[in-house]
Amino acid sequence: MEWLEVIILVSVFALLLARAVPISFCIGIATLVTMLLTIKPLPAVTTIAQRMATGLDSFALLAIPFFILSGQLMNRGGIARRLIDFAKVLVGMLPGGLAIVNIIASMLFGSISGSAVAAASAIGGFMTPLMNKEGYDKNYSAAVNITSATTGLLIPPSNILIVYSLASGGVSIAALFLAGYVPGILMGLALTVVAGYIAFARKYPVSERIKMSVAFRRLLDAVPSLLLIIIVMGGIVGGYFTATEASAIAVLYTFVLSVIIYREVKFSELARLLLDTAITTAVVMLLIATSMGMSWILAYTNIPQNVSESLIALTDNKIAILLIINLILLSVGAFMDMTPAVLVFTPIFLPVAVSLGIDPIHFGIIMVMNLCIGLCTPPVGSVLFVGCGIANTTIASVIRPLLPMFIAMVVALLVVTYVPALSLWLPGLFGF
């Protein structure tokens, strides 16, 4: 009976996805059809409505709209340009300097905004024309921008780590935020090595050294933006406020920075920013609600337990099982958005990981790294589409320069997967 439910659920979901139905509707309709056809004693519509409502009844989820609004303010408040100028001071003189600037700036901006799409749009919007002007191939520029934008989903604050905390049953958000630093930086360094080697091989131009006075002025300009990282993470780790309260503080800080200090966002633009935030939040919350409904039906039919037993029966080798989970998640990331993927597959794979002695914090980072790669792959990679649109190129054209970047990201993923200390060192240092 359970296999019948799995077949119906997967078949309906795949059929709707192939018909270009929005992912949240694919999840919700597939769940409803499965319940109607297999769990007849239950009032399917009422049950799904209840599960969707209770799935959103979480204080931690309040952080998501605040971080989205903070990202909107940063995107339009001149913060991206200042971070790019700061990155030029650090690495602009290296071979392929502009490509490395793109990566460093994306890491910084993503870590402040918590959004890969915002990083690809804001940083790519500045860097792509500049790289094209310097003679960089536009497909290479797009590949660098697309892959580097995902690093900010690991370096906190990160909305997807908040979602994982919800799906895992309450893993500490502060511990997850701390755990993301080293893997996020490692992924950025892996991309930097590959991008720098390609740029050196192609003899792309090296930027002129910046005068000390100019470098100092750019550093001062970037300090207020960089302080947000210290304020948010320092407050969370120090126990002064929760992640949700930190998100509200981030909005207040970015409002002061963008509207009052930098004066690049006018008061007349705030209504539009709030509307954009509400639209984005509605999309994310609908994804979470429908995913929670699907997670419930998976749990009701004991599918997570069956998957766990099947994997362990296949092999009790931790290395092999982690490799299988990585391959599955990489495949899932190519076809499903991050939020529903985390909500649906965490209850399935986390019990397997815990049974093998893998820390839930470490497993959360593994899952997010896998799905970050999925954001850069067709057919549904949102960052891939944004990056191609900004570079005015096609997905087919950018796939080839993306391949070495993919390899770098996968290598970083495998290192983090099999070296738990990279994820657990900082949380352990702060007592989590």
Q: What is the pLDDT of residues 190-222, one digit of tens each?
A: 999 998 888 888 887 776 677 777 778 878 888
State how far the Cα of 10 lies from the Cα of 23, in Å rounded to an integer: 13
Q: For the segment 103-143, what is each residue's pLDDT rounded down to a tens digit?
A: 888 888 777 777 777 778 778 887 888 888 778 888 898 89
DSSP symbols for 322-381: HHHHHHHHHHHHHHS-HHHHHHHHHHHHHHHHHHTT--HHHHHHHHHHHHHHHTTSTTT-
Of residues 417 and 331, more confidently modeled: 417
What pLDDT, on the 0 to 100 scale, is given for residue 92?
Answer: 64
Please report how the helices 303-314 and 2-18 are oriented relative to each other, as an axis angle in degrees rounded to 10: 100
Q: Kindly tell me if the per-residue pLDDT of 1 is higher than 60.
A: no
Q: Distance between CA 350 and CA 308 in Å, rounded? A: 9
DSSP state of 208: P
pTM of the predicted protein model: 0.85
* The pLDDT of residue 2: 60
The mean per-residue pLDDT over the stretch 143-172 comes to 87
| % of the chain surpassing 70 pLDDT | 96
Question: Whose structure tokens read 């965490």?
Answer: 346
